[in-house]
A = this chain, B = another copy of it.
Amino acid sequence: MAAKRSGRSKRGINERLQPLQEPRSEPPLSRERIVATAVELLDAQGVDGLTMRRLADRLGSGVMSLYWHVDNKEDVFDLALDSVLEYRGPPQIAQDWRGEVVHVLEDWRASMLRHPWSATLLPRRALGPNILGRLELLSKTLSRAGVADADVNAAIWSLWNYVMGATITRASFDLSDDDRAAAQQRLTRLSERYPTIERSRLLLDNDWDGAFKNGLGFLLDGLSPK
């Protein structure tokens, strides 16, 4: 019931009334500062690492002060997620449609991997303006490329599914070396039950970027207008 979006509170006349009691006098709270700090915290500690108490600590404020600027913790997640998914456009003009689609999706994946918590968050929160912008761009590109109108939506969802699956998997699997060692041990121990994937070293391939590009190539082959 609160949460103004308040650009900047205006004091300025009597700053001297703050007798520098704190060595580093924090700037006043604001939605932007909260969101930026939340992103920092999420990057550093993951989804479970973001608590309102820690967020307030980093901001040098009390916990309940945050609730003046945001509705609740879910709101913080939504704002942080959206702030991270901006698309700045292709590097130069005049690409072919495949190049453009690949660039949008690789940039999307890269943004989410830079903030791994965002990948697991995106599917379960509302679509913010930045994601809608990306979908709009994809839609226009595919249409212009000659994909039949009846196929465009299915094509977009295929691409969405592919990026989400790839990124969530990638972001979830780069845990500790212990886990990696344990997984390898388990697999070789069970190699007689899973001979094919053991032989092809399916679970040991670390070229995630290459696999992403190759698989996307397959999908675009299937999507190309005949």
Contact = CB atoms under 8 A, between A and B. Distances in A.
Interface residues of A, number: 59
A165 to B, nearest CB: 3
Given A215-B157, A219-B218, A222-B221, A203 B127 contact: yes
28 contacts: A123-B168, A123-B172, A123-B173, A124-B172, A126-B182, A127-B203, A133-B193, A135-B197, A135-B202, A136-B193, A149-B200, A154-B215, A155-B215, A155-B218, A156-B202, A158-B162, A158-B214, A158-B215, A158-B218, A161-B161, A161-B164, A161-B165, A161-B166, A162-B219, A164-B164, A218-B222, A221-B222, A222-B223
A29 interface: no
A8 to B, nearest CB: 26
Contacts of A173: 123
Nearest to A125: B172
Contacts of A215: 154-155, 157-158, 161
Given A126-B183, A136-B194, A200 B152 contact: yes
B126 A120 contact: no
A220 B155 CA distance: 13
Contacts of A169: 123, 157, 160-161, 164
Nearest to A221: B222
Nearest to A201: B153
User: Which 5 A-B residue pairings sit nearest by Cβ, starting from the closest?
Assistant: A165-B165, A161-B165, A222-B222, A158-B215, A221-B222
| Interface of chain A: mostly helix, strand, loop or mixed | helix
A221 B126 CA distance: 32
A54 to B, nearest CB: 20
A196 interface: yes
A113 to B, nearest CB: 14
A168 B160 CA distance: 11
Interface string A199-220: 0111101000001001101111
A133 B156 CA distance: 30
